Amino acid sequence: MNKDMLLWDETIFKNDEVLEPDHIPEYFAHRGTQLQALMYSMRPAMRGMRPINCLLIGPPGTGKTTAVLKVFEDMEGHTNNIVFVKVNCQMDSTRFAVISRIYKKLFDVSPPSSGVSFRKLFEKVTEFLVESGKILVVALDDINYLFYEGHADEILYSLLRAHEQSPGAKIGVIAIVSDTGKIYLFDPKVSSVFLPEEIDCPRYNYGELQDIISNRIKHAFFQNVVSDEVRDKIVDYVDRTGDLRVGVNLLKRSGLNAERRASRIISIEDVEKAYEASRLMHLCRSIKSLTPDERTLLRLVAKGKNVQTGELYRSFHEITKLGYTRFYDMVNKLNTIQFVDANFSGKGMRGRTRIIKPRYETQDILKCLE
């Protein structure tokens, strides 16, 4: 029997939990400044005061969400007077969905999905906070997904001005923006009460990525499963995308590829094969959060490559039967969340003709839409 071959009941994974997307690593390096800023902002809540609101900004996969969850975890170990809620705004993308998520955390039961208004649920939440004396901290993860139809202002306005309708209700907000190159402007009536501590989470540099990936390897695999050469190949790929989540997913897929070959070590070929799936991870996850009609529109854009608005609308209407206003809203959303470019071309009447172009390779979009 070849000693380099795995037996059917053997594995190269020592602890595969550390490669899961929702794992909060005990070793969370190279974000000390951000953690300190978050802790400082949340500290007033430990003394019964409203915390300082925060705005975390940075590209995807740069530790923003993990930093917030680490602070939540640490503070929950020292107080039971603060309720921490993280809301995924890709999934919970309306004011009602956000308050439903908060309601479930407070009362440990989901509210009715119909027949009850946002206002009624919000009153229940604020009544609970006032009567219990607890402070609510809400992390709105990927809040950029709420901007395209004005939901971000609606949600923040409700949360941050709750004390005006329910004196004694104390709510703090951590907004997480996974985007670069775009500045999100809040309505003045929101900005005047939000006043966040801005915390920047830049891309990890190569040395930082190498350190983080090495630590995940140490805890995820048995010794000598991953060579330095293979580790650096993974770091090269992660450095190319700038998204640490790609690296974690790449480790998992590479390990599974090795096990499929019954190998006790991960090879360069295992990594290269895994990268094709891992590199599209964030794109595919984001596309899955779109509605069926939005995915239809994105597919038409991807296939058309450079298409004028009028032509695109005719194709879209033929499939969905939806009107132009809804179509226009969807184009703006896809532009806002950076799936497409929807710029005015300078041609046509008053130069207002828009050319819609995909921001990603056509084959990558279509693969994620499968």
Q: For residue range 253-298, what is the model confidence (pLDDT) as tens digits?
A: 999 999 999 999 999 999 999 998 788 877 888 888 888 999 999 9
Reading the block at residue 68, the tokens are: 């917030």
Provide the β-strand partners of residue 141: 88, 176
Name the amino acid, one letter, at 334.
Answer: L
Provide the β-strand partners of residue 176: 56, 141
Tell me which residue has tokens 């071309």: 345
Reading the block at residue 174, the tokens are: 């951590």
Reading the block at residue 43, the tokens are: 């500290």
Residue 253 near residue 277 (C-beta atoms within 8 A)? yes
Among 3.20.20.150, 3.40.50.300, 3.30.70.890, 3.30.70.270, name the CATH number for the domain at 32-200: 3.40.50.300
CA dist 370 and 360 (Å) reads: 15
Contacting residues for 290 by C-beta, under 8 A, at least 6 apart: 298
pLDDT of residue 113: 79
Greatest extent of the chain over all pairs of C-alpha atoms, in Å: 77
pLDDT of residue 346: 47
Reading the block at residue 171, the tokens are: 């709510």
Q: Three-state SS string across 87-135, please?
A: EECCCCCCHHHHHHHHHHHHHCCCCCCCCCCHHHHHHHHHHHHHHHCCE
**What are the backbone angles phi and psi of residue 354, rounded to the nearest 5°?**
-105, 135
Q: Is 291-369 the same fold as 32-200?
A: no
DSSP secondary structure code for residue 203 in this structure: P
Whole-model pTM over 0.75: yes
Which segments in the chain show pLDDT lower than 70? 1-3, 148-149, 179-183, 344-352
Cα angle 201, 203, 206 (rounded to 5 degrees) comes to 140
pLDDT of residue 352: 59
Among 1.10.10.10, 2.40.10.340, 3.30.43.10, 2.40.50.140, name the CATH number for the domain at 291-369: 1.10.10.10
User: What does the domain layout of the chain look like in residue ranges?
Assistant: 32-200, 204-279, 291-369
Protein fold of 204-279:
Helicase, Ruva Protein; domain 3 (1.10.8)
CA dist 60 and 49 (Å) reads: 32
DSSP secondary structure code for residue 291 in this structure: -
Going by C-alpha positions, the residue among 54, 157, 166 that lies closest to residue 99 is 157
CA dist 90 and 144 (Å) reads: 9
310: buried, middle or exposed (CB in 10 Å: 19+, 13-18, 0-12)?
exposed
Coil/strand/helix, residue 361: coil
Residue 176 near residue 56 (C-beta atoms within 8 A)? yes
Distance of CA 215 to the CA centre of its chain: 23
Residue 234 near residue 254 (C-beta atoms within 8 A)? yes
- Edge-to-edge strands, sheet with 197-200: 82-88, 135-141, 170-178, 54-58, 197-200
